[in-house]
């Protein structure tokens, strides 16, 4: 395992609480069935997988039986994202020298091109604009005096340009040009790729008159932010907030001591997936039409485990969710194993897809 892989796993240790374990076919403390049933459908995923001592990008069908290493490089390859048209997979590559590169893989030709290379301390997380014509990515740093930057570049490596003088979370509108960007989890700004007028819109905490509210996702159709504010008695909530109308809509108030993470919309924005974390258990839940349904539980047990903080992803038709767990393992290094699972978004049997993988992205055109 490379030193970067060890650092990555150790870093997770700092933000995780010890929890129960879910392993298929044997499951400890899980309310779901234990039969390893393969989901049906012509789905294909890409993801990060630890392989031969470093991280590689793999593609695989839904059965998990046809893995293909598409990166095959001694560097650590990570953060894969399938393009909206299904033709490309973009990912970042961290070399032992510290240089971080962005690579685009042509699915049809099974070939890769290097489109950019930057010497940075931390983080290139490439994403696609909704129309699939442009890649955007943030350059961040461990240097507190360096606020980073955000760039766009064409899939062939052309027209690279800086659009923000900071590393920010970006949510695009459907036109693929205009976007919101979030600073410090709460400050909402609006800008565009052509470097049009940059507008500060609001700070969600100041607008709501509270502290601790966090922006989690964005629905460009309804022009609403998905946020996690606090109730008057200090309980965590899940809510939407209209960007234009400044209207707050509370969807769910958690029980006392419950926290929420990994909140995100489905592709059609009709569902929200969230991990609930209370004093004893964790739950993977779906919110649809104002109703919450818990589809999976991890009970407190040994060895401790929890739902991973790595991103989870809905299938193109929103029927399935791919996610990782973090299961403690001890040895020379205190670290985690991260098995990758697939579960129906309406519940059912979790299917163990890979023993050591995370960061799933689905081919949108299977």
312-342 confidence digits (pLDDT tens) = 999 999 999 999 998 887 665 557 788 999 9
CB 253 within 8 A of CB 292: no
- Which strands sit side by side in the sheet containing 214-219, from one edge to the other? 214-219, 224-228, 237-242, 248-253
**Distance between CA atoms of residues 357 and 323, nearest Å:** 9
Identify the CA nearest to 64 among candidates 306, 327, 326, 320. Answer: 320
Please report the beta strands in 13-107, taking only residues with DSSP state E, as ranges in sequence order. Answer: 44-51, 54-61, 68-69, 76-82, 88-94, 99-106
Band of the pLDDT at 35, cuts 50, 70, 90? Answer: very low
Angle, CA of 320, 55 and 215, to the nearest 5°? 50
Has residue 106 got a pLDDT over 70? Answer: yes
Has residue 7 got a pLDDT over 60? Answer: no
Query: Mean pLDDT, the chain, as a whole number?
Result: 84
Residue-wise pLDDT for 45-75, tens only, equals 999 998 888 899 999 998 888 899 999 888 8
Band of the pLDDT at 27, cuts 50, 70, 90? Answer: very low
Q: Which of 26-40, 92-106, 351-365 shows the highest mean pLDDT?
A: 351-365
Has residue 180 got a pLDDT over 60? Answer: yes
Residue-wise pLDDT for 261-313, tens only, equals 889 999 999 999 999 988 788 999 999 998 999 999 998 877 788 898 888 99
Residue-wise pLDDT for 249-275, tens only, equals 999 998 888 889 889 999 999 999 999
Query: Under 8 Å CB-to-CB from 89, ≥6 apart: which residues?
Result: 46, 57, 59, 70, 80, 81, 82, 83, 104, 105, 107, 361
CB 201 within 8 A of CB 190: yes
Band of the pLDDT at 217, cuts 50, 70, 90? Answer: very high
**Strand duo 111-119 + 99-106: pairing:** antiparallel
């Amino acid at each position: 395992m490379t030193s970067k892989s060890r650092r990555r796993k150790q870093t997770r240790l700092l933000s995780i609480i010890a929890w129960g374990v879910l392993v298929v076919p044997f499951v400890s403390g899980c309310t779901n069935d234990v039969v390893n049933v393969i989901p049906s459908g012509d789905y294909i995923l890409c993801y990060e997988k630890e392989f031969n001592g470093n991280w590689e990008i793999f593609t695989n069908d839904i059965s998990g039986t046809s893995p293909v290493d598409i990166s095959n490089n001694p560097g650590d390859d990570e953060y894969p994202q399938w393009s909206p048209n299904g033709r490309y997979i973009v990912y970042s590559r961290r070399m032992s020298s510290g240089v971080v590169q962005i690579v685009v893989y042509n699915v049809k030709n099974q070939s890769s091109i290097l489109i950019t290379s930057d010497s940075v301390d931390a983080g290139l997380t490439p994403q696609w604009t909704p129309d699939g014509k442009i890649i955007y990515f943030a350059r961040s740093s461990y240097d507190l005096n360096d606020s980073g930057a955000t760039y766009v570049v064409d899939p062939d490596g052309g027209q690279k340009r800086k659009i923000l003088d900071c590393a920010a979370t970006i949510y695009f509108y459907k036109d693929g040009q205009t976007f919101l960007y979030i600073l410090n989890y709460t400050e909402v700004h609006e800008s565009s790729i052509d470097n049009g007028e940059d507008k500060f819109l609001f700070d969600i905490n100041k607008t709501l008159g509270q502290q601790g509210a966090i922006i989690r996702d964005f629905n460009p159709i309804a022009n609403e932010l998905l946020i996690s504010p606090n109730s008057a008695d200090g309980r965590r909530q899940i809510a939407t907030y209209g960007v234009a109308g400044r209207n707050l809509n509370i969807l769910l108030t958690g029980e006392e001591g419950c926290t929420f993470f990994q909140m995100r919309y489905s592709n059609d924005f009709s569902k929200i997936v969230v991990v609930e974390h209370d004093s004893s258990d964790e739950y993977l839940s779906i919110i649809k039409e104002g109703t919450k349904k818990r589809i999976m539980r991890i009970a407190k047990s040994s060895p401790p485990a929890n739902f991973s903080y790595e991103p989870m992803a809905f299938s193109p038709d929103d029927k399935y969710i791919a996610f990782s767990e973090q299961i403690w393992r001890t040895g020379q290094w205190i670290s985690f194993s991260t098995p990758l699972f697939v579960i129906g978004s309406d519940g059912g049997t979790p299917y163990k897809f890979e023993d050591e993988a995370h960061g799933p992205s689905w081919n949108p055109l299977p």
